[in-house]
């Protein structure tokens, strides 16, 4: 049941036609220094995030990163131990869940098993929005049509597939026309093909309705498709927020670099050195031509790097197989295996500094072959000892 279903009766709100109460714009959301602690454990740790009206933000991170907890705090299903939440300038912490104009889609459907698909939607609209029975039925049919599941209107959940049940659960939340929609990993139980099609449908419907939305997922591909911006969380902290391109092209930390991308960025450990006389550079077989600080990568190559850099990252698509005298990075290794992804392949090369993923077009090197990998200077990202991105080389 969406949070707008709570605490209202069919006559507690004005009666409306199915499309008369479409919002002119979604709801603005301000999260400021929000924390949620359970004893000594901080599930959410001092997170600040602004969401503009009508914007869709993906909350991306592994299990236990605080995504679902943050969603529950916004919905009013839990209370923060610190910080503030405002919805269109109103203090949300003073509002009961049913007063926040928020709808929520849960991971495990939460449909009433004794009701048909249409009746699940009608119940939410009558008790959540105060629509008459006829208006609620019309709105329910309209929503089922938008999601392409009109043929399921008279079926009960037990007679539906997992994907069909999830469409109905999403439709129930969107039918309420809530100005803020919260989706908690709504597609995690579906197969890859169904996920890909359903997420496009959901985004299109959110755009049509003008709702603001927070979309929780641990799937980085899904986050990139759904969100106008992506907020990456780890251990309860907000690592980075930006457009999908910003998060992919300029990861703010080693965590973001290693989490976003399929496969993610290759990160090579290095040894910082300040100049040519630094003892940490002994044993290098090549000295970089550029002056200034540099970093030893593995045991065989030195790269020009910012001061304090202890690791260098490069995306698989920026690595090339073969020698290049102008390369910013050169690593030697042994070809292990390749994985076909459509027209491209991902080749995995074992180097002294670690296992590297390389995106190649055409035939990859043979298994067991010794190869050289190079990348241009502008494709390299550098990280300090705290795992944060160093902006310039």
For residues 32 and 82, is the Cβ–Cβ distance under 8 A?
no
**Of how many residues is the chain composed?**
393
pLDDT at residue 288 greater than cutoff 90: no
Looking at the DSSP bridge assignments, the partners of residue 85 are 31
Tell me how crowded residue 367 is: count the other CB atoms within 10 A of its CB.
12
User: DSSP state, 95?
Assistant: S
Q: Cα(378)–Cα(167) distance, rounded to whole angstroms?
A: 44
pLDDT digits (tens, 9 = 90+) for 85-117: 999 999 999 999 989 999 998 877 789 999 999
Question: Class of 3-252 per CATH?
Answer: alpha beta
Please state the rounded mean pLDDT for residues 371-384. 91
Residues 6 or more apart whose Cβ sits within 8 Å of residue 335: 347, 348, 349, 364, 365, 366, 367, 368, 369, 370, 371
Chain centre distance of CA 84: 23
Kind and range of the H or E element at 329? strand 329-341
For residues 104 and 2, is the Cβ–Cβ distance under 8 A?
yes
Q: Cα(101)–Cα(282) distance, rounded to whole angstroms?
A: 64
pLDDT at residue 267 greater than cutoff 50: yes
Domain ranges of the chain: 3-252, 263-390
Per-residue pLDDT, 316: 96
Residues 6 or more apart whose Cβ sits within 8 Å of residue 214: 29, 51, 57, 59, 70, 71, 74, 180, 181, 182, 183
Structure tokens at 47: 């997170």
Q: Report the first-to-last Cα separation within the chain, whole angstroms.
A: 52
Percentage of the chain with pLDDT > 70?
Answer: 85
Structure tokens at 235: 């251990």
Residue spans of beta strands (DSSP E) within 114-167: none
Largest CA-CA distance found in the chain, in angstroms, rounded: 83
Per-residue pLDDT, 305: 81
Per-residue confidence at 5, pLDDT binned at 50, 70, 90?
A: very low
Looking at the DSSP bridge assignments, the partners of residue 105 are 183
pLDDT digits (tens, 9 = 90+) for 193-222: 888 888 888 888 888 888 899 999 999 989
* CATH 2.40.110.10 matches 263-390: no
Per-residue pLDDT, 381: 92
Looking at the DSSP bridge assignments, the partners of residue 145 are none
Residues 6 or more apart whose Cβ sits within 8 Å of residue 92: 74, 76, 85, 86, 100
């Amino acid at each position: 049941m969406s949070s707008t279903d709570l605490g209202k009766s069919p006559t507690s709100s004005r009666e409306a036609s199915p499309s008369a109460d479409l919002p002119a714009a979604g709801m603005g959301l301000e999260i400021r220094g929000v924390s949620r602690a359970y004893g000594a454990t901080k599930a959410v740790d001092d997170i600040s995030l602004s969401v503009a009206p009508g914007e869709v933000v993906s909350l991306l991170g592994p299990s236990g990163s605080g995504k679902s907890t943050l969603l529950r705090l916004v919905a009013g299903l839990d209370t923060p131990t610190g910080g503030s939440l405002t919805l269109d300038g109103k203090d949300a912490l003073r509002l009961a869940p049913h007063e926040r104009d928020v709808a929520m889609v849960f991971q495990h459907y939460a449909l009433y098993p004794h009701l048909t698909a249409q009746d699940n939607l009608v119940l939410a609209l009558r008790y959540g929005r105060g629509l008459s029975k006829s208006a609620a039925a019309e709105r329910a049919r309209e929503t089922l049509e938008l999601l392409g599941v009109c043929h399921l209107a008279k079926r009960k959940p037990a007679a539906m597939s997992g994907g069909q049940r999830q469409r109905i659960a999403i439709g129930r939340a969107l039918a309420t026309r809530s100005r803020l929609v919260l989706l908690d990993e709504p597609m995690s139980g579906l197969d890859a093909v169904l996920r890909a099609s359903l997420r496009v449908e959901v985004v299109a419907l959110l755009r049509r309705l003008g709702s603001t939305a927070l979309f929780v997922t641990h799937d980085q591909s899904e986050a990139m498709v759904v969100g106008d911006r992506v907020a990456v969380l780890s251990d309860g902290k907000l690592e980075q927020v930006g457009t999908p391109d910003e998060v992919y092209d300029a990861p703010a930390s080693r965590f973001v670099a290693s989490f976003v991308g399929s496969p993610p960025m290759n990160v090579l450990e290095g040894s910082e050195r300040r100049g040519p006389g630094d003892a940490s550079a002994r044993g290098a077989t090549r000295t970089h031509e550029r002056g200034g600080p540099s970093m030893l990568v593995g045991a065989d190559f030195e790269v020009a790097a910012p001061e304090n850099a202890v690791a260098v990252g490069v995306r698989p698509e920026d690595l090339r197989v073969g020698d290049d005298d102008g390369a910013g990075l050169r690593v030697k290794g042994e070809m292990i295996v390749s994985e076909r992804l459509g027209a491209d392949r991902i080749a995995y090369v074992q180097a002294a500094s670690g296992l590297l993923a390389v995106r190649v077009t055409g035939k990859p090197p043979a298994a067991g072959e010794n190869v050289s990998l190079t990348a241009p200077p502008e494709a390299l990202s550098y990280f300090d000892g705290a795992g944060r991105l160093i902006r310039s080389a």
